[in-house]
A and B are shown apart, each in its own frame.
Chain A
């Protein structure tokens, strides 16, 4: 109790302050090092893909089909088309359902329904994608054939919570006063939704969809089960045959011990990575902008 300092002393560190400052310094350096480590890992992975995949890129690579019997020619043209179609159909399924679910929770549902739907969506979001793949397998493929549609359905289930969640967010940002004004004018609910709410949040929904697409385009596990056995036959039916697609192409090539195959896989990985990173980045930037626009 008598260890109070003489306050007229200079203000340089006294007592245990030097040790505390050292501890502080160490803590700050550790945190910075962790951040540097994370960025370094990102850099290493991206660099590997760029370096090894860049060499394989060419117009032929992007447009032609994979070689029939192995070898170093050919490309991933059909796989790009296949992924594009599968992701497109998945979006067409997931987006309307996701928006409607979000509308339901913000406009119509009571608190208990909101909690149930929220829990269900969070559970869906956290479900391992391979389990979703097994589910759709049991539903559509078991006893029949693999198909691009089955893959789309699985991806749609994965995208649904993402779209619904983000749409809920942007809907909640629309100011109360806009809704009140519409109601006070005697406008019916659905007209309010169509004319007042949706136009305001269209930007947010678009970017939420972009982010969901970025997530789904890279999903491989369901596709392994649902859309992985594809040949070069001419007859390709979206609903009854498996389509070539990029994630499975990369996976298959990575499991074989063919160096030429590896080169093609790096090229495909580069294409996929660029698409996903660009879509994700654009989506995030736009989401920030539309958030500011609505609440600002």
Chain B
């Protein structure tokens, strides 16, 4: 303890009255913090309130029923839950290994100068506004998929119901999945890069001195010791994908039904809200959209809490807010 610190502690004990300036500052800070915590609670309350008419009308069955017909006052989230699961799940499956590979490259393989250039470039992908990504998905990726990629896949793997005939526009679940993959990769890549850099050099030295190749060191030492952090990063990426409304709604085609084929249209929870909210025909539809938002809220909070738990927040100061 520094001598200054000792003096300070002594002074504070003697001088219990704090100046009015201190009280004001403390008070104002407290109000701000309460606002921040309250915001989260308020959001949950509002969404539940807005969904109430739909909850009382449809109950929990809403979650699995797949009919969505505003004209007939029949609503069900089933196909959108399915769409969310498929797009986000597939995107996570593809993006996580790629993100980890990039993280390994940036932390352990690339020379420092290269790392200094490529790291910001990878982070820049995350900075692209999703509306621009979605727009690019409609006009550039879509035609490319429908003209070249989907027919080829369908020709070679069409025996799987997963790869049925494609749409002419290139819109569909496949397009949306690719866009989501592009969104998740930089998140997993930057976070894993930071994680891999925390593995102490002495452990890597020890492995090298035992005659291990770089890959063996990565496989046996680096990856196992960062496994929980990388999982948390994947969950954060998943959270991002689950909540993405705009880019998905632009390219997924807004379909109502469940399809097995990736090349068909579909919809997710978030994108359906974006699609129909401003044009809702009746109050029940609005309430049902609120219900979708509630489901999204619950899923989002759960994924986020899981990520925080895995990364050990309850004990550390670490925060991913960036």
Contacts and interface: CB of A to CB of B under 8 A. Distances in A.
Contacts of A276: 127-129
Contacts of A135: 42-43, 46-47
Interface in A186-245: 186, 188-191, 193, 211, 214-215, 217-221, 224-225, 228-229
A280 B99 CA distance: 21
Contact of A218 (B26, B129, B186): B129
Contact of B133 (A31, A45, A181): A45
Given A27-B214, A254-B134, A134 B105 contact: no
Interface in B85-128: 98, 101-102, 104-106, 109-110, 118, 120-125, 127-128
B29 to A, nearest CB: 4
A31 B47 CA distance: 43
A277 B32 CA distance: 30
Contacts of A189: 18-19, 21-22, 25-26
Most buried by B among A45, A96, A157, A225: A45
Given A130-B243, A184-B8, A280-B124, A123 B40 contact: yes
B129 A121 contact: no
B315 to A, nearest CB: 9
Interface stretch (A66-74, A84-92, A161-169): A161-169
A183 B8 contact: yes
A134 B308 CA distance: 25
Contacts of B18: 188-189
Q: Would you call the interface of chain B mostly helix, strand, loop, or mixed?
A: helix
A180 to B, nearest CB: 4
Contact of B11 (A164, A172, A186, A284): A186
Interface in B216-230: 216, 218
B201 to A, nearest CB: 19
B319 A168 contact: yes
A276 B33 CA distance: 29
Interface in B33-50: 33, 35-37, 39-40, 42-43, 46-47, 49-50
Contacts of A45: 125, 128, 132-133, 136
B319 A122 contact: yes
A260 interface: no
A44 to B, nearest CB: 8
Contacts of B322: 162, 165-166, 211
B321 A128 contact: no
Contact of A105 (B33, B98, B182, B293): B33
Interface of A: 20-21, 23-24, 27-28, 30-35, 37-39, 41-42, 44-45, 48-49, 52, 96-97, 100-101, 103-105, 107-109, 113-132, 134-135, 137-139, 142, 157, 160-162, 164-166, 168, 172, 176-177, 180-181, 183-184, 186, 188-191, 193, 211, 214-215, 217-221, 224-225, 228-229, 247, 250-251, 254-255, 262, 265-266, 269, 272-273, 276-277, 280-281, 284
Interface of B: 2, 4-5, 7-8, 11-12, 18-19, 21-22, 24-26, 28-33, 35-37, 39-40, 42-43, 46-47, 49-50, 98, 101-102, 104-106, 109-110, 118, 120-125, 127-136, 138-140, 182, 185-186, 189, 213-216, 218, 236, 239-240, 242-246, 250, 270, 273-274, 277-278, 289-290, 293, 296-297, 300-301, 303-305, 307-308, 313-314, 317, 319-322
